[in-house]
């Protein structure tokens, strides 16, 4: 070990973190951190992440890294995969709802997301590197979600889910439908003779996001997903944990939150119950209406209510990536995955830790200059 460090010593000294701006553009480099938070709940002390051409080549124990062969950035703190937020409205300037038409299955939020919008700067500042951008849940069928990187102006997916609503927010007094019955009837009709986007949903190629609020709404959404063998996630669903067995059977994930200090115990207990039942969990941030910092806070609030650290961490990263349909690209620091990572001052699950720098596809996207 000693020899290895000595071998690197000169290089490390020569390339401090505060290097020039073109550093971010470097194709291949390594970061050595005091702590590396990996997939699951694994924390490696004295870890190293090796980035080659925007992808992870190696992440793990610095002792086992072998010959790095690249510049090494020393980080006196923690390093983890970038966070994945599973529901947000960032970069849309509020253009998320086609108000007078309840069924806009062919609408795509990707068409209105401004990838250079300042919303994404704030997301980066909160350690978020991937986001699911959703159309508003105030339509029965509101259209396709998109998955974006928060830096580099790139879509991971322009059509990630079809967003449906089972909640009363989709029932409006100035247009059809005003009732649960009619809304559900429309959804049933769409799947009775599926075409276009619905064909992809029916064939299992496109997952769904099912917005639901009260328990009866959640129950209807779960039943609908079961009846039609749909894949995807419940969105919001604050008390889904009280129907945890049903949700588990449906195979749906749940995008919970955002939670804040003061969120009702009942909502937090719901998340814990879902985790116990083995339901995949992720969190929404609903930015810009809510703070992007709310993502980490949501997980922390759930931990306060009894959620284990491993599940909490996976909900912020790998499970969230899977729910976003990008589980083979982001959310983990393993070889071949996108080099989306965050340098933290401490453990990211500790709210006192702050973001020091963020990299997306191996490019420095935020911080790191001081």
Rule CB under 8 A: which residues touch another protein? Answer: 168, 171, 173-182, 184-185, 214-216, 219-220, 242-246
- Minimal distance in Å, beta carbon 187 to another protein? 10
**CB of 236 or CB of 332, closer to another protein:** 236
User: Quick check: 347 and 296 in contact, CB under 8 A?
Assistant: no
∠ Cα 268 274 279 (to 5°): 140
| SS3 category, 222 | helix
∠ Cα 317 165 327 (to 5°): 20
- Minimal distance in Å, beta carbon 262 to another protein? 24
Structure tokens at 207: 């997952």
**CB of 210 or CB of 299, closer to another protein:** 210
- Minimal distance in Å, beta carbon 245 to another protein? 6
Distance between CA atoms of residues 240 and 277, nearest Å: 11
- Minimal distance in Å, beta carbon 36 to another protein? 40
**CB of 29 or CB of 166, closer to another protein:** 166
**CB of 177 or CB of 346, closer to another protein:** 177
**CB of 83 or CB of 171, closer to another protein:** 171
Helices and strands (DSSP H and E) totals, the chain: 10, 17
**CB of 121 or CB of 186, closer to another protein:** 186
CA dihedral (295, 298, 304, 305) in degrees, to 10, reads -150
- Minimal distance in Å, beta carbon 35 to another protein? 39
- Minimal distance in Å, beta carbon 190 to another protein? 15
- Minimal distance in Å, beta carbon 311 to another protein? 20
Nearest 5°: phi and psi at 56? Answer: -75, 130
**CB of 174 or CB of 352, closer to another protein:** 174
| SS3 category, 274 | helix
Upstream peptide bond of 288 is cis (omega within 30 degrees of 0):
yes
**CB of 130 or CB of 136, closer to another protein:** 136
User: Quick check: 342 and 77 in contact, CB under 8 A?
Assistant: no
Q: Which of 132, 75, 142, 140 minimizes the C-alpha distance to 104?
A: 142
CB contact set of 161 (below 8 Å; sequence gap of 6+): 132, 134, 144, 145, 206, 207, 208, 209, 232, 233, 325
- Minimal distance in Å, beta carbon 322 to another protein? 25
């Amino acid at each position: 070990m000693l020899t290895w460090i000595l071998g690197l010593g000169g290089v490390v000294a020569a390339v401090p973190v505060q290097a020039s701006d073109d550093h971010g553009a470097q194709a291949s480099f390594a970061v050595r951190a005091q702590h590396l938070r990996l997939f699951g709940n694994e924390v490696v002390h004295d870890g190293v992440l090796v980035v080659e051409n925007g992808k992870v080549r190696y992440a793990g124990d610095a002792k086992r890294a072998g010959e790095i062969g690249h510049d090494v950035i020393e980080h006196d703190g923690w390093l983890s995969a970038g966070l994945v937020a599973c529901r947000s409205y960032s970069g849309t300037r509020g253009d998320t709802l086609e108000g007078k038409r309840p069924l806009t299955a062919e609408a795509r939020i990707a068409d209105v997301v401004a990838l250079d919008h300042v919303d994404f700067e704030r997301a980066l500042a909160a350690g978020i590197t991937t986001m699911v951008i959703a159309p508003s849940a105030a339509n029965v069928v509101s259209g396709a979600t998109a998955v974006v990187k928060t830096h580099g102006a790139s879509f991971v997916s322009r059509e990630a889910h079809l967003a449906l609503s089972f909640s009363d927010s989709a029932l409006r007094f100035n247009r059809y439908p005003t009732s649960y019955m009619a809304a559900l009837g429309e959804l049933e009709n769409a799947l009775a003779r599926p075409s276009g986007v619905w064909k992809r949903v029916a064939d299992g190629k496109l997952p769904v996001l099912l917005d639901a609020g009260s328990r009866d709404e959640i129950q209807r959404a779960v039943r609908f997903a079961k009846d039609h063998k749909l894949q995807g996630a419940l969105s919001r669903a604050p008390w889904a944990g009280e129907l945890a067995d049903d949700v588990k059977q449906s195979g749906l994930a749940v995008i919970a939150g955002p939670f804040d200090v003061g969120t009702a115990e009942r909502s937090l207990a719901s998340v814990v119950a879902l985790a116990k039942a083995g339901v995949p969990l992720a969190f929404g941030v609903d930015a810009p209406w809510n703070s992007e910092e709310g993502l980490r806070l949501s997980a922390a609030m759930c931990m306060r209510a009894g959620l284990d650290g491993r599940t909490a961490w996976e909900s912020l990263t790998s499970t969230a990536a899977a729910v976003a349909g990008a589980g083979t690209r982001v959310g983990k620091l393993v070889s071949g995955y996108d080099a989306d990572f965050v340098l933290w001052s401490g453990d990211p699950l500790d709210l006192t830790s702050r973001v020091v720098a963020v990299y997306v596809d191996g490019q420095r996207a935020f911080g790191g200059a001081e």
